[in-house]
A = this chain, B = another copy of it.
C-alpha cells in the first residue's frame, strides 16, 4: 500500500496535478509503520487506508504530504496493492512450477521404459510406463504455469476510480494519472475502474485454485505410490525429515502431504471470491472486504505448494524394479485385453474372449499364471504358437502410443519454454 500511495504521488507530479517538489522524499519507510495501529483504525473505519495515509504523511515533507492519496479512494489503494502483491508472489511461484515441470520432463524422458501398472479406480488395469505418468504431470504443470504467467503479465491491473469511479477529484486528468500509475507500478491499465467489476480477482483466484488442483493430482499419485504395499516411489527426504524415531519403517511423504493440504483449502477460498462478485453499485458492502484475505491466502498456498512440489520432485526416488514386480502381481491378468486381441486373429473375437475369461478365472490356482493356463488349453495349443502367445503376454508389447504421447508432451513443453 505504501508503494501504491507513493507511486500515485509521483503520477500526480508527472501529470502536473502536484508540484514537482511533492515527490522529493517519496521513499518513505514502510517498515516503520505500526501495523497494529492500522488494524485498530481499520476496525473503526472499515479500511486501513486513512490511518496509513496519516502515518505516511507524517513521514513526508509537508509539500508531499498535502498531495498524498489525492484523487484516490481507499479501495483504489487496497485493490492496487493486492495486484502488486500478486505480481510479486507470482515470480517465485512460476519459477517453482517451471522447475517442477523441468523435473517431470526429465522423468518422462528417462522412464520411457520403466513399466508400471496403470491403475484405474485404484485397481491395476493394463501396463503403462512411469514415463507416461510423468508426461501427464508435465502437461498439467505446464498448463497451470502458463495460465498463471499470462495473468501475471497481462491481466493484473491498476485500480483508480476515486470516490465512486468517475475520478472527479482529478478533474479532466483522471485517465492520465491512471496511465501513469499503471506505468509506475508495471501493472495493466483497465478499460474502466473495476471497483465492482470483480472478474480479475475471481479469475486470479480460480487459476490459483486450478493450479493447486493440478499439483495435488501429482502429490496424491506420489502418496499412493509411496504406500508401504506399493513402494514404487519414495520421497527421498534428507536425514530427519519425514522419519519417525519410534517407527523407523515409516517414510512419511511430508512434502506431497503439504501439497495436498494446501490444495484442499483452495476450492473454498476460490468459492468465497466467486460468491463475492455481486458487489453493490459503486462499492460493495461486505463482498469486497471479504476478498482480501482469501486472495492473499490463495497466493500463499499456491506458492507454498509449488515450492514443496518442486522440492519433492527434485529428490523423488523411483523404484522401477518394484513397478515391474507389482506389474506381475496378478499373474498376467493385466494382459488379458492384449492376449484376447491376439487370439481373436486366430479363433475369432468372441471365442477368444470366452477362452481368456475362462482362463482368467483359473489364474492363481496352484500359482499358475495366465500364460500357463492358456497353453494348457488344446484349442490354443493347436492354433497359436508359443512365441506369439508369449509376445501377447509381454507388457512391453502392449503400451500403445505411450512413447509418442511422451514425445508430444515434451514437444509442447519445449514450445512453451521457447516462448
Q: With an 8 A cutoff between CB atoms, is A320 at the interface?
A: no
On chain B, the residues within 8 Å of A169 by CB distance are: 246, 337, 341, 400
Q: How far is it, in angstroms, between the C-alpha of A268 and the C-alpha of B276 when the chains are bound?
A: 11
On chain B, the residues within 8 Å of A272 by CB distance are: 264-265, 267-269
Interface pair A265/B293, CB less than 8 Å apart = yes
Interface pair B217/A163, CB less than 8 Å apart = no
Copies in the complex: 4
Question: Which residue of B has the minimal Cβ distance to A205?
Answer: B206
Interface pair A139/B197, CB less than 8 Å apart = yes
Of B44, B140, B219, which is within 8 A of A241 by CB? B44
On chain B, the residues within 8 Å of A119 by CB distance are: 164, 227-228, 280-283
On chain B, the residues within 8 Å of A114 by CB distance are: none
On chain B, the residues within 8 Å of A289 by CB distance are: 257-258, 260-261, 264
Q: With an 8 A cutoff between CB atoms, is A35 at the interface?
A: no
Interface pair B202/A213, CB less than 8 Å apart = yes
Question: Which residue of B has the minimal Cβ distance to A289?
Answer: B261
Q: How far is it, in angstroms, between the C-alpha of A206 and the C-alpha of B274 when the chains are bound?
A: 9
Interface pair B223/A405, CB less than 8 Å apart = no
Of B44, B285, B361, which is within 8 A of A260 by CB? B285
Q: With an 8 A cutoff between CB atoms, is A245 at the interface?
A: yes
Question: Which residue of B has the minimal Cβ distance to A288?
Answer: B261
Interface residue stretch chosen among A20-28, A94-102, A349-357, A374-382: A349-357
A224 with B264: in contact, given A44-B254, A242-B45 (CB under 8 Å)? no
Q: How far is it, in angstroms, between the C-alpha of A338 and the C-alpha of B163 when the chains are bound?
A: 11
Contact residues, A151-188 vs B (CB, 8 A): 162-172, 174-175
State the Cβ distance, A77 to closest chain B Cβ, in Å. Answer: 15
On chain B, the residues within 8 Å of A170 by CB distance are: 400-401
Of B196, B247, B270, B353, which is within 8 A of A126 by CB? B247
On chain B, the residues within 8 Å of A136 by CB distance are: 165, 192, 196-197
Interface pair B267/A353, CB less than 8 Å apart = no
Q: How far is it, in angstroms, between the C-alpha of A336 and the C-alpha of B270 when the chains are bound?
A: 39
Of B253, B266, B356, B361, which is within 8 A of A121 by CB? B253
Interface pair B197/A337, CB less than 8 Å apart = no
Interface pair B122/A274, CB less than 8 Å apart = no
Q: How far is it, in angstroms, between the C-alpha of A37 and the C-alpha of B259 when the chains are bound?
A: 21
Interface pair B261/A128, CB less than 8 Å apart = no
Q: How far is it, in angstroms, between the C-alpha of A161 and the C-alpha of B97 when the chains are bound?
A: 26
Q: How far is it, in angstroms, between the C-alpha of A166 and the C-alpha of B135 when the chains are bound?
A: 12
Interface residue stretch chosen among A7-15, A84-92, A327-335: A327-335
Q: With an 8 A cutoff between CB atoms, is A46 at the interface?
A: yes
Q: With an 8 A cutoff between CB atoms, is A271 at the interface?
A: yes
Interface pair A281/B118, CB less than 8 Å apart = yes
Of B44, B125, B174, B283, which is within 8 A of A401 by CB? B174
Question: Which residue of B has the minimal Cβ distance to A125?
Answer: B164
Interface flags, A31-62, vs B, CB<8A=1, else 0: 00000000000011110000000000000000
State the Cβ distance, A57 to closest chain B Cβ, in Å. Answer: 13
Q: With an 8 A cutoff between CB atoms, is A319 at the interface?
A: no
On chain B, the residues within 8 Å of A266 by CB distance are: 274-275
Q: How far is it, in angstroms, between the C-alpha of A140 and the C-alpha of B276 when the chains are bound?
A: 15
A128 with B166: in contact, given A229-B227, A260-B285 (CB under 8 Å)? yes
On chain B, the residues within 8 Å of A293 by CB distance are: 265
Of B73, B165, B171, B203, which is within 8 A of A206 by CB? B203
Question: Which residue of B has the minimal Cβ distance to A137?
Answer: B197
Interface pair B223/A197, CB less than 8 Å apart = no
Of B46, B166, B199, B223, which is within 8 A of A399 by CB? B166
Interface pair B217/A249, CB less than 8 Å apart = no
Apart from A117-B228, A267-B268, what 10 extra A-B contacts exist at CB < 8 Å? A119-B227, A122-B253, A122-B285, A126-B164, A147-B203, A163-B247, A246-B353, A247-B333, A260-B289, A264-B276
* Across the A-B interface, the 5 shortest Cβ-Cβ residue pairs: A213-B277, A260-B286, A118-B164, A249-B333, A168-B400
